[in-house]
Structure 1
Amino acid sequence: MSEKNLKRCQWCGDDPLYVKYHDEEWGRPVFDDETLFEFLILEGFQAGLSWITILRKRENFRRAFDQFDFHKIARYNEDDFNRLMENEGIIRNRLKIRAAVTNAQAFLRVREEFGSFSKYIWGFVDGTPVVNHFKAMEEIPASTPLSDKISKDLKRRGFKFVGSTIVYAHMQATGMVNDHVTGCFVRAESLEHGARRC
């Protein structure tokens, strides 16, 4: 089957950047803290915006936020805040920028307690992706009781911009849940990729 005829989840449309993200990242289990942190921060910046907007600015975000080095971000000061607020390549939202710093600090505390953020977050699903069987995009929820639970716990630990909808988007992006619709060619690949446990 040619690349053009492959069946994908409808949400990625035909934008090359979105298609690449869908095919290579979305729903594939992520266990390393660096990538989990990047998605956590990007999902926070995405609140109220489209994900494609974030994807188009992703490289700008990486450069602006020291490649999402949570150790460095946790130490950001007012000079860093002002530098980021002047950066036209990212989303210049005061609350979201400050939340990124707060979240880096909370992220480090979780790592100290659990050994890694990965062990903490994947512990909510016993280290194995939740596999859903949705046939159409319209069936996929914006949040679930599990994302409600994780959101509540993250907030308790001091994280910001981690409402249930954002958390569920994070779970989808990092493969904690597999929401590729049945028939999507990536579904089987991501299931196979997620066979190992953290």
Structure 2
Amino acid sequence: MYTPNAFALDDLPELHQLIQHTRLAQVVTFGEHGLQASHLPLLLNPNEGPSGTLYGHLAKANRQWQDLQNGSDALVIFAGAEAYISPAFYPAKAEHGKVVPTWNYLAVHAYGKADVFTDAERLLGLVSALTDRHESARDQPWKVSDAPAGYIDSMLKAIVGFALPIDRLIGKRKLSQNRSAADIAGVRNGLATSVDVRDQTLARFMPQGVPE
């Protein structure tokens, strides 16, 4: 990922926070069948290994797990908030007109090699943890144990789990840091007043301004 110094994010707790706030990741591998990508919910154990370990599972029918088993390097993309930035947001537009559109966004790329597992007890722990995480905000959270045990056993036989120790993390926080404080404020206000909730979400990450 191309990351100019102004946009680089290398604080490990912040990188982990962005990973945990991204509900669906893209896992990319290259193997016998060429490039493959899957969209997966993942769990992060931030305390396992120097940069953390990611856990997830794939359907056995998805041949990508074989890439992982065969030692393919994996790229995991966590795409966070993003928004189009109009030149109209910049006060500089009225001053000299030397402005162009751009895109602001948050992203983390994680790299590593995964260990694949099919042990039923370990898979049950993984799917239970994933379920508990995403059901936690509900008034009456559904639990894996709510389903018949035999049914869950059959479902576990149809998936393959993986643990991916993170070898390298690259983070990017492109939030107009290369602009003046006035332009940053203009972008923040422009996004905050947008009718698009995606713009409003990114506005909350915008800095409050930088010294001129």
Which interval holds the TM-score relative to the shorter structure? under 0.3
Instruction: Give the structure with the larger strand fraction.
Output: 2
TM-score (structure 1 length as normaliser):
0.27
The one of the two structures with greater contact order (alpha-carbon pairs below 8 A, sep at least 6) is 1
Instruction: Give the structure with the larger helix fraction.
Output: 1
Which of structures 1 and 2 has the bigger CA Rg? 2
